Amino acid sequence: MSLGSELSSMRHKIPALLSLALLAAPLAAEQTAQPARPAAPQAAPAPTAQPESPLQKPLDDAIHLVQTGKNAEAFQKLQAIEKDPNMTPLVLSLIGALYTEIGKPQEALRVLKPQADSVDAQPAVLYNAGRAALRAGKVDEGRVYLTRSVLKQPDSPAARELGMLTARDGRVVEAYSMLRPWALRNPNDTEARLMAADLAVQLERGDDAIQLLSGFPDSEPAVRLLRGKALVLKKDGPGAVALLKPLLTKHPQGMDLEVRRSLAEAELLAGQPAEAAKLIDGKTAGHPALVLLLARAQRQAGNAAAAAATLKPLADKLPANADAIGDPRPVMGIALEYGSLLMEGGHAAEAVPFYQKATVYNPRSADAWKALAKALDAAGRKDEAQKALAQATAAANAPARQAATAPKAPPSAPAAAAEGPQEQPLSEGLQKALQLMSQGQSEAALTAVRQEIAVSKDPRARMIEVRILLSLRRPEDALKSAETALATDPTNADYVYLKGASEMALQRFSAAEQDLRKALQLQPRHLPAMDDLAVLLLRANKKEEARKLLQQVLQINPQDQVAAANLKKLNGEAQQ
């Protein structure tokens, strides 16, 4: 049993009828809503009670059957209610949600899809349609419904479902950005809280993990392990050892390797490298991270020869560049550790190539540049050492430098200031991605930008990813990326534009027009959205609106050649 399965076994299910509550509450309101009127004097009689919907009683009976596990009877009851002449869209939505609860997702989709496919679909309807689609095995369709629900209502439980789905896809950063806010707002949803804590550990956010695990008992092995991992991230070796050592003697069998690894990391922090090595020696096969951990423990215990022998097979296979790797941390750790072993053995010249690889894997690591500078200096390459040291200083000061050098809007440009703060310089990773794009190396550019997404919160990384995917003619993937970005920031005009651009590439012109118009509502001077909307308007023969839009574009940016060409063509057609 792995940590993931252990977590699953102890998570409390989110209240089964959460999706129903979103729809059931408005049922009475639909029946009794009255126009607003001035408050009556105190002596005025109470308003007359409105008659209950004739569907209320059979619906209550159906919900009771669902709650008591009588699914077959509930199914028959719901089918009968569907045929009632008093049926309303709201009640039909509730029936769809109930179909999902009793294991009839196809029936649920049949009922919910007509409403969910409407532009004006309610967030609750979209949420329930998304759940039904996922349970029916239509993952892409479910993802779209859930994303639309989040866009309409950011605190919708669709954010939870979308976060869990994204986590299962291995997209840790995006999943965490959705699940952590939900878990903090809904602390009783233990499944979401545990998943968010697990993601926080993967992202090396110890404080966040501790916060999310608050109130969980250490008697649960999965919780104890996550809490121990969080203490390791906080560099509290003794605290983590005290928490994890009892778990070593009693834990589910499938968790053994993870318990040993976490306890070994804790022992290292607590100054007990020999104990750390004992825990994982002979258990590292097929696990590069454990190989690296064992080598560190052996080196710190004074057995450099054993450490070098342990790490050499991995060090010899390190790639020359970062194009083929995802998360750069594991390979960088191997390069740095092996370089340290060579340095301690007096082989500075041999250490240099490994430190150079570490700086290639993560150019923003000040530690990697410092290690390289030290090795170069020891190898007699003084000038190169000074340059590496300068790079280390630049990397260490990068956040402060970016904040200090971000261009500010001049006093004479209030309109520009109103559009939002000026952008900070692109990171080296994003510059590399753009450079690769310009060289026609789109696949390599995609790898580079996805590495950036894994370590950066810069929203431009996601925008560049969508651009690359569109250039590779992968509009479905581009749309998924844009929707993932939108789920984290529904009012970001750039993300809305990217969704519209992806839909254009898929020839979903009506949906694209809606998104481009929404982008312009959020940011009226969004030039790419204006350009693309003009193209759509021309396609729909809305020439006057297109002409006005193109004229606005050229007023803002007279150098826009695409807008100029389209306007020239449009004016030429008008003169014929």
Secondary structure of 3-24 as H, E, C letters? HHHHHHHHCCCCCCCHHHHHHH
Task: Identify residue 427 by its one-letter amino acid code.
Answer: S
What is the arithmetic mean of pLDDT over 526-539? 85
CA distance 223 to 231: 12
Answer whether residue 459 shows pLDDT above 50.
yes
Record the tokens describing residue 254, joined without a space: 């499938």
Answer whether residue 398 shows pLDDT above 70.
no
**Confidence band for 438, pLDDT divided at 50, 70 and 90:** low
Answer whether residue 535 shows pLDDT above 90.
no
Helix residue ranges per DSSP H, 281-424? 288-300, 304-315, 329-344, 348-361, 366-378, 382-396, 398-405, 414-418
pLDDT of residue 324: 61
Q: Which of 111-115, 266-270, 294-298, 461-465 comes out lowest in average pLDDT?
A: 461-465
pLDDT of residue 89: 86
Record the tokens describing residue 103, joined without a space: 């294991």
Are 7-27+53-156 and 286-400 the same fold in CATH?
yes
Residue pair 221/255 in contact by the 8 Å Cβ criterion: yes
pLDDT of residue 427: 75
Is pLDDT larger for residue 24 or for residue 431?
431
Q: Which of 3-7, 324-328, 489-493 comes out lowest in average pLDDT?
A: 3-7
Answer whether residue 556 shows pLDDT above 70.
yes
The fraction of the chain above a pLDDT of 70, given in percent, is: 83
**Confidence band for 234, pLDDT divided at 50, 70 and 90:** very high
Is pLDDT larger for residue 554 or for residue 324?
554
Residue pair 368/358 in contact by the 8 Å Cβ criterion: yes
pLDDT of residue 443: 82
Answer whether residue 34 shows pLDDT above 50.
no
**Confidence band for 37, pLDDT divided at 50, 70 and 90:** very low
Going by C-alpha positions, the residue among 174, 140, 170 that lies closest to residue 159 is 174
Answer whether residue 412 shows pLDDT above 70.
no
pLDDT of residue 365: 81
Per-residue pLDDT of 155-194, as tens digits, reads: 788 889 988 988 887 777 778 878 888 899 898 999 999 9
**Number of Cβ within a 10 Å radius of residue 71:** 15
Residue pair 536/504 in contact by the 8 Å Cβ criterion: yes
Task: Identify residue 573 by its one-letter amino acid code.
Answer: E
CB-based burial label for 282 (10 Å; 0-12, 13-18, 19+): exposed
Is pLDDT larger for residue 326 or for residue 333?
333
- Residue 255 DSSP one-character state: G
What is the arithmetic mean of pLDDT over 495-515? 88
Strand locations in 187-338, DSSP E? none
Q: What are phi and psi of 335, to 5 degrees?
A: -60, -45
pLDDT of residue 397: 63
Residue pair 127/20 in contact by the 8 Å Cβ criterion: no
Answer whether residue 228 shows pLDDT above 90.
yes
What is the arithmetic mean of pLDDT over 97-120? 90
Is pLDDT larger for residue 566 or for residue 91?
91
pLDDT of residue 529: 87
What is the arithmetic mean of pLDDT over 228-253? 92
pLDDT of residue 52: 62
CA distance 324 to 341: 26
pLDDT of residue 147: 81
CB-based burial label for 541 (10 Å; 0-12, 13-18, 19+): exposed
CA distance 277 to 259: 14
Any idea which fold 7-27+53-156 has? 1.25.40
Q: Which of 54-58, 272-276, 337-341, 493-497 comes out lowest in average pLDDT?
A: 54-58
**Confidence band for 130, pLDDT divided at 50, 70 and 90:** very high
CB neighbours of 433 closer than 8 A, spacing ≥ 6?
A: 445, 446, 448, 449, 452, 464, 468
Query: What is the pTM assigned to this prediction?
Result: 0.60
**Confidence band for 444, pLDDT divided at 50, 70 and 90:** confident
pLDDT of residue 162: 86
What is the arithmetic mean of pLDDT over 442-458? 77
Answer whether residue 409 shows pLDDT above 50.
no
What is the arithmetic mean of pLDDT over 11-39? 37
The fraction of the chain above a pLDDT of 90, given in percent, is: 31
Boundaries of every domain in the chain? 7-27+53-156, 286-400
Answer whether residue 255 shows pLDDT above 50.
yes
Question: What value does the mean pLDDT of the chain take?
Answer: 80
Per-residue pLDDT of 365-377, as tens digits, reads: 888 999 999 999 9
pLDDT of residue 1: 41
CA distance 506 to 231: 47
For 212, half-sphere exposure in the C-beta direction (CA atoms, 13 angstrom radius) is: 28
CA distance 279 to 262: 10
Please tell me the total number of residues recorded for the chain in this structure.
Answer: 576
Record the tokens describing residue 70, joined without a space: 């009588």
pLDDT of residue 575: 66
Residue pair 338/311 in contact by the 8 Å Cβ criterion: yes
CATH code reported for the domain at 286-400: 1.25.40.10
Answer whether residue 110 shows pLDDT above 50.
yes
CB-based burial label for 477 (10 Å; 0-12, 13-18, 19+): middle
pLDDT of residue 325: 65
Residue pair 311/292 in contact by the 8 Å Cβ criterion: yes
Per-residue pLDDT of 335-394, as tens digits, reads: 999 999 999 999 999 999 999 999 888 777 888 999 999 999 999 999 999 998 888 887
Tokens 């096969």 belong to which residue?
285
Is pLDDT larger for residue 464 or for residue 274?
274
CA distance 16 to 156: 16
Per-residue pLDDT of 60-107, as tens digits, reads: 888 888 888 898 998 998 888 888 888 888 888 889 889 989 999 999
Record the tokens describing residue 284, joined without a space: 């590292």
